[in-house]
Structure 1
Amino acid sequence: MKIKYKVSKSYQRLKKILLFISLFLNFTAIAKMTQNQSPRFALYPVDSSEKMPDSVLIRDWQNKEIYERPIFLKAAFDGHSFKFSLPIKAPLMMFDIVFYYGKKQLKSLYHFAEPNDDVILYFRAGDRNSSLNVSGVGAIKYQLAEQLGKESMDFHISVVNFDRRTKTSLKLFSDSLVNESEIHSYVDSLKSLAMLSEARSLKILSEFKSRLSPNLLNFYKYECIVGRTKQFVYSGFIKSIKNKKNSAKYCLSRNTGFLEMNNDNPLLKYGTWYVFHKSFNLAIEAAMESAGKELYFKDRYSSLKSIENLELRDRLITYLFAYPGISQRYITNFDSKDSCLTDALDIIKDPHLISELSRDVITKKGNEIFSFSFQDSNQKYIRSIDLRGKVFIIKFYGWGCTGCEQFHKQFKKDIYPEFSKNSNFKVISVSIDKSKERWLQSMESKKYTSEDYINLYIGNKGIKSDFFKYYKVNAIPFILLVDEDGRLIERLHNGMQSTFISTKIRGALAAQKLRVKNSM
C-alpha cells in the first residue's frame, strides 16, 4: 500500500506538470495569434452617388505624439472598395484616413483600432472632411468616435460664428485696449458654449454605456472630452495683445466646472489628444499666472516634473521640449533650458521619448551648425562657411505652412527693423518645397519670406536633405540663431516672444563686435 501510494502521488505530480505545460503552450499560442492579428478594414462609398477617391492613405499614429510625423500606409483598391489592415502592436492604436480626389484631400476623424476589429467603413465626402458610417466587428467604438467628433466640429463652428458676431476677437487681436466688461462678457460667452459642448459630449458617451467596456468608455472620455473645450475659455488671454494682464486674471477665475480626471486609466498610454490638450492648457495657465512677470523655463519644467503619474509626467516633459510652438510659447527666460534637458534625459526611461528629447541635444548652445550648401535663384550656392564672421538666422519654411507664415509676419514687423541695416547680421530663408516653381511662388507671395533676406532652395530632396536628417526635423518652421563662429546660440520657434529673440540677436552682435575690437 505504501509503494502504491508513492506511485500514485508521483503520477499526480506528473499529471499536474503536463497540464501546466499544456496550458502554457495554449496561452503562448493564443498570445502569438493575438500579437499577429491585425485589424482589417474595407472602405466603400456610402451609396452609388458618392464619388470614388483616386487613392486612399492611412496615417498610422501608433506610439506617436501629435507633433510627430505619422507612418503612411496605402490602401489597396480592388475595383469596388479600398482595403487595408493595420500593424497593431498594442491594445489600441490611433489612425486616420486621407482621401485623395485629384489635388483635393479630405481627412476622416481620428479613430482607435483594436486587434480583433473587422470593420466596413462607408464614407461620404464633405466640404472639409469625410464622415464614416461603420459596421462589423468592433464597430461600436467607431460610431462613438464619429458622434463625439461631430460634436467637436459643431462646437468649433459655434465659436467661429460667435467671434464673427461679437467682433471682440478682432479687437483683442488689434493694438487697441478693450474694456474689462467686454472681455468678461466675451470669456463668459465662450465658457457657456464650452460647457454646453462638454455636456452634449457626456450625453453621447452615456448612450454607449451598455455597449462598451468601462475602460474603453473612460478612455474616450479622456481622449475626446477632457480639456478639449476648456482651452477656449482662455481665448480672451491668447488673443489679447494689449489686454493680457486683465484677461489673464479673469480667464483663470472662469476655468472651473470642467470635467477633470485622475490619469489612472490603463489605456491612457495609448491616447494622444488628452496629453496634447493637457500640455496646451498647462502652458496657457502658467502664462496667465505669470502675466506681467517673467516666465522661466525652469519653473515650467519643475511644475511638470512634480506630476505624480510618471508616464504622464514624462510625456508632458517631452512635449515641453519637442513641441515648443505650444509648450514654450510664453516663456521669456530660457537660461536653464539646457540643464533641464540634461535632467529630463536622466529621469525619463522610455526609449521613444529619449529619442525625441535627443533632438534638443543636437541644437544645444555652442554646438557647431551642420555644414550646408543651398542654391539661390541664380543657381549660386551659399555655404555655411561663407557666413563666417556674420551673426545669422537660418529658417526653413514650406508653402502652406501657417506657422511659417506667422513667424515671418512677427519677425518682419517686430524684430528685423532693428537689425536690417547691420551688415554683420543676415537672415537665410530656405524653402523646403521640392518644386522650384512653388519656391518662386512663395517668394512672390511675401507670406513666408522677404526680398531683404538671402533666399535659398533646399533642392529636390526636400525634408530628406542631410541637414534635416542631422537635426531630426519633424516640423517647420525650423529656425536656428547662429553666431559669427558658426555655433548655435538658440533654436527659435513660432510663438516665441519677440523681445526674447531681439535680445538674443542684440547680445550676439555685441559679442561679435567686442571680439573684433579685442583682436585689433
Structure 2
Amino acid sequence: MRDLLVLARFGARHPRTLLALRWLSGWLTRIPGLPVPQTAGSQPDLISAGEWISSGPAPAKRVEGFEILDFFVTFLVKQKSKAKKKHGCGDPGKTVPLQINKGRSAITRTSPRLAFLHNRSRLSWLAPTFLCLLFLNGKVAEAQTMGGGPSAPLVLYGEIIGDHYEDTLSIRVHEGYLGQSVFMPRPESYTLIPYAGDGRRGLPGTLAFSFSSKPFADFAYIHVSGAKSGVLVEHYMALPGDTVGIRLDRHANTVSFSGPHADRYRLQRELESAQGSYLLDQPAVLAVSNMERFLSRAPLEEGLPYGIKAFHPITGDSAQLNHIGRLLAADYRRHPGYEVIERYRGKVDPDFLAVMEANLYGTVMKSAVFGFNVAKKSDMGLWTGLYHSGIAGLPTGLFPPHTAYRAHHFTDFLLEKAIAGFIAGGPHPYAALKAEADPLLRDRLVTKYLVKYFERIAKREEYLLDALGYVADPQSRASLVQYRDNLSVGREAFPFVLTGIDGGEVSLASLRGKTVFVDFWFTGCQACIAYHANTLKPVESHFRGREDIVFLSVSTDKDIRRWQNSVKSGRYSSPEAVNAYTGGLGIDHPLTKHYNLHAFPSQLLIDGEGRVARVSGMQVGPGELIGILEQTINKKP
C-alpha cells in the first residue's frame, strides 16, 4: 500500500511509473463496481479528485485505503488530456454511495463525480486484483446492514469455462422472496448474452459477463442459470449493494466466488453441499398404499453395491408413524450444515448468518412435518397423538421476527406446523398465522399461506378480503391486491394470445360470445393426466356438439415438439378441445403470470362476455363440473 502511495505522489518524476499508471487508468475505467467518474454519455471521465472531495460533506472518519484512493485519483487527473482524447468529457453521472470500512467503523461517501460503472460490455478480469490494491488496508464495507439503509443494485460479474462458446444467461432477482412455490411478488427477470473472452474483455476460452440489477431494498433471493451452462446460483440470498464474482468451471464442475461480498455466497454454496450430503445419508423411504401391488410392479433388488440407494417402501399407519416419529426425534443439529454455520461466524454479518441458520433449521424440520401432513391416515387418534408428542412442541421462537420473515424455509416450516395443528383438531391455519404477534412476520406468513394454498382453501375469498383489512407490509399487501384484482370474479379476463396446434393464434377475442373453460397443464404432470381422464373427458363428451362453450387446453411446455406429442397421445387433451401452448415461454407467458399460475393442473372459467366466472373450485367430479358450466352458460347478462 505504501508503494501505491509513492506511485501516486511521485509518479510524474518516474517515466516508467507514469506509463504504468497510465495503463492502470485505462483498466480502472473498465472495472465494474469500482467508483469511477461518468460522463453524460456513460463514458468514464477522470476528473479532479479535489472537486470530488469537496462535493460532499466531510466524513467523520477517514480510513487509509480511502486516502490512498484520493491520492491515486488525484494523480490520474494528470493524465486527463489522454482521457479526454480517448473518452471525451461531460456532465457527471448519477450520485451513488460508496461504503468503505476499516474494522467496524464505516463511512459513506456520496459523490456526484464518482459512480459505479454499469457498462456491461467493459468487463475487466483484473477487477478483484485492483480492488485488493486500492483497499488493502481499508476493506470494502458490507453493502448494508440487514433491514436498513437505502436501496442499491446487485452487481454480478463472472466467467464460464466449458465446451460452449455462446450462451444466454437468465437472471432473476426476487425482492421480498416468499419461497420456491410462491411466485408473488414477481421477480425482476433479466436476459444477458455473455461474450467470448479475447484477453482484453475476459480471458480467452471463457464466456464473460457483467451485470447490475435495479436497486432493491432489504433483501432479495437470486437465481442465475445458462441455457447451455446450467445453474450457477439457485435461490441465494443477496443484500442491496452486493458485488460478487462467479466462476463456473463446467470441466471441473465447480462454482467459485470472489469479490468483496463473496463470503456470503461461499456460505450458501457450502450449505447447499451440506444439504446434499445430508440427503445422501437418508434412507429413501416411500409410503405405498398397497405393498403387494408395488412390489409386483417394481420388485426390490437384493445385494446392491455399497452406497447404491433404493426405495424402502412402507405401508400402514404404524410404519409411517414410526418413520415420521424418528425424523421428528432426530437431533437437527447433527445436520452437516451446522458445521458450516460455525465456520462462518465472524466472517459474515451476524444477522445474515442468522437467516442462513433459520433456513437450515426450517429445511430440516419442515420435511418431517410435511410428511405428517400428506400421509394417508386411517387411525386419526394415533396421528393426533404423534402431533402432540412430536410436532406441537417444536420450537418456533428460535429466531427473532426480523430474521424469521427473511428465511423462506423457516416460514415454510411455520406454515406446515400450522396445517398440522389444524389436522390434529386445532385452529384453522389462517387463524393460527393471523395470531402471530409480530405484525411484519404475520403479514408475510398470511400472504404466503393465501398465495401458496389458495386453490385448497375453502373460504379463500373471505380470508383474502379479511387479510386486506389488516396487512400493512407494502410488499405483502401489493401481492394480495394483485391476487384479488387478477382473480376476482366479474372482472374482464386477461386478453390473452396463444399459439395453436396449427401454428395460428388463439385469442380471447376470437372466442368472444362463448363460455371458455381453460385447463392448464404440462407434460409429465401426473395430476394433469388424472384430471383429464377422470373429469374432463366425461364433461367434454357431455357438451359435444354445443356451440355455446369451448374447452381450451393450454400447455406450459417450452418445447413445441414435446407439447405436440403430448397432445397426440391423448393423455392430457382431446380432439374436442382447442389446443394451444404458451409459445415456448412456459409459465412466464403474460397469461400465466397474470393469474400467478405455478401449480398444475389449474383451471379458469370465462363467460360469454369475456369476464372471469371462476378461478378455483373446479377440480371436482364430472357431474359437479357440468353443473358449474351449465350455470355459467345460462347466466343472464
Structure-1 separation of matches of 2:393 and 2:421: 19
Match of 1:342 among 459, 462, 465: 465
Match of 1:168 among 284, 287, 293: 287
Partner SS, residue 344 of structure 2: coil
Partner SS, residue 489 of structure 2: coil
Tell which deviates more after alignment, 140-149 or 239-248. Answer: 239-248
Output one character per residue of 1:280-336: Cα deviation in whole Å (capped at 9) or x when no partner: x14642552359xxx9xxx4433322211111211222223322xxx24654x33xx
Cα gap change, 1:435/1:154 in structure 2, threshold over 3 Å: closer, same or farther? closer
Structure-2 separation of matches of 1:186 and 1:198: 18
Identity %: 17
Partner SS, residue 440 of structure 2: helix
1:428 aligns with 2:549: no
Structure-1 separation of matches of 2:292 and 2:445: 29
Q: Which residue of 2 aligns with 1:206?
A: 342
Matches within 5 A, 1:1-150: 30=108, 32=110, 40-44=155-159, 54-55=166-167, 56-66=169-179, 67-68=182-183, 69-70=186-187, 71-72=189-190, 74=192, 76-77=194-195, 78-80=201-203, 82-87=208-213, 88-90=215-217, 92-101=219-228, 105-114=230-239, 117-125=242-250, 131-150=254-273
Q: Which residue of 2 aligns with 1:8?
A: none
Q: Which residue of 2 aligns with 1:179?
A: 316
Partner SS, residue 485 of structure 2: helix
Output one character per residue of 1:394-436: Cα deviation in whole Å (capped at 9) or x when no partner: 123345xx6xx24413313443365354227764212345765
Structure-2 separation of matches of 1:37 and 1:233: 38
Deviation, 1:125, is: 4.1
Q: TM-score, normalised by structure 1?
A: 0.71
Alignment check: 8 A CA contact 2:263 2:348 kept: yes
- Which one-letter code corresponds to 1:419 in the other structure? V
Tell which deviates more after alignment, 451-460 or 170-179. Answer: 170-179
Structure-2 separation of matches of 1:75 and 1:460: 19
Partner SS, residue 530 of structure 2: helix
Structure-2 separation of matches of 1:255 and 1:53: 52
Output one character per residue of 1:350-403: Cα deviation in whole Å (capped at 9) or x when no partner: 44333322233332234454456766545595757758575x53123345xx6x
1:508 aligns with 2:634: no
1:360 aligns with 2:484: yes
Structure-2 separation of matches of 1:109 and 1:460: 22
Structure-2 separation of matches of 1:383 and 1:513: 16
Q: Which residue of 2 aligns with 1:410?
A: 530
Structure with the larger helix share: 1
Partner SS, residue 419 of structure 1: helix
Deviation, 1:221, is: 1.2
- Which one-letter code corresponds to 1:442 in the other structure? S
Structure-2 separation of matches of 1:388 and 1:407: 31
Structure-1 separation of matches of 2:191 and 2:590: 25
1:151 aligns with 2:274: yes
Partner SS, residue 108 of structure 1: strand
Q: Which residue of 1 aligns with 2:51?
A: none
Deviation, 1:183, is: 1.8
User: Please, which runs of 5 or more residues in structure 1 have no aligned partner?
Assistant: 1-20
Query: How large is the Cα RMSD of the aligned pairs?
Result: 4.6
Q: Which residue of 1 aligns with 2:355?
A: 219
Alignment check: 8 A CA contact 2:244 2:259 kept: yes
Partner SS, residue 365 of structure 1: coil
Structure-2 separation of matches of 1:504 and 1:368: 25
- Which one-letter code corresponds to 1:491 in the other structure? V
Partner SS, residue 488 of structure 2: coil
Structure-2 separation of matches of 1:38 and 1:489: 41
Partner SS, residue 429 of structure 1: strand
Cα gap change, 1:268/1:90 in structure 2, threshold over 3 Å: closer, same or farther? farther
Tell which deviates more after alignment, 134-143 or 31-40. Answer: 31-40
Match of 2:517 among 393, 403, 424: 393
Deviation, 1:214, is: 2.8
Q: How many residues align?
A: 462
Deviation, 1:229, is: 1.7
1:188 aligns with 2:325: yes
Structure-2 separation of matches of 1:95 and 1:256: 33
- Which one-letter code corresponds to 1:304 in the other structure? L
Structure-2 separation of matches of 1:465 and 1:116: 30
Q: Which residue of 2 aligns with 1:15?
A: none
Deviation, 1:505, is: 2.0
Q: Which has the larger radius of gyration?
A: 2
Alignment check: 8 A CA contact 1:140 1:212 kept: yes
- Which one-letter code corresponds to 2:542 in the other structure? N
Structure-2 separation of matches of 1:276 and 1:302: 16
- Which one-letter code corresponds to 1:94 in the other structure? Y
Alignment check: 8 A CA contact 1:236 1:247 kept: no
Cα gap change, 1:125/1:444 in structure 2, threshold over 3 Å: closer, same or farther? farther
Match of 1:278 among 401, 414, 419: 414
1:307 aligns with 2:444: no
Deviation, 1:149, is: 1.3
Deviation, 1:40, is: 4.4
Q: TM-score, normalised by structure 2?
A: 0.59
- Which one-letter code corresponds to 1:106 in the other structure? V
Structure-2 separation of matches of 1:380 and 1:120: 43
- Which one-letter code corresponds to 2:348 in the other structure? L
User: Please, which runs of 5 or more residues in structure 2 have no aligned partner?
Assistant: 1-56, 63-95, 99-107, 112-142, 144-149, 196-200, 296-313
Structure-2 separation of matches of 1:216 and 1:373: 43
Cα gap change, 1:172/1:137 in structure 2, threshold over 3 Å: closer, same or farther? farther
Structure-2 separation of matches of 1:98 and 1:38: 19
Alignment check: 8 A CA contact 1:183 1:247 kept: no
Cα gap change, 1:135/1:174 in structure 2, threshold over 3 Å: closer, same or farther? farther
Alignment check: 8 A CA contact 1:359 1:472 kept: yes
Alignment check: 8 A CA contact 1:248 1:288 kept: no
Partner SS, residue 271 of structure 2: helix
- Which one-letter code corresponds to 1:84 in the other structure? S
Structure-2 separation of matches of 1:134 and 1:467: 37
- Which one-letter code corresponds to 2:321 in the other structure? H
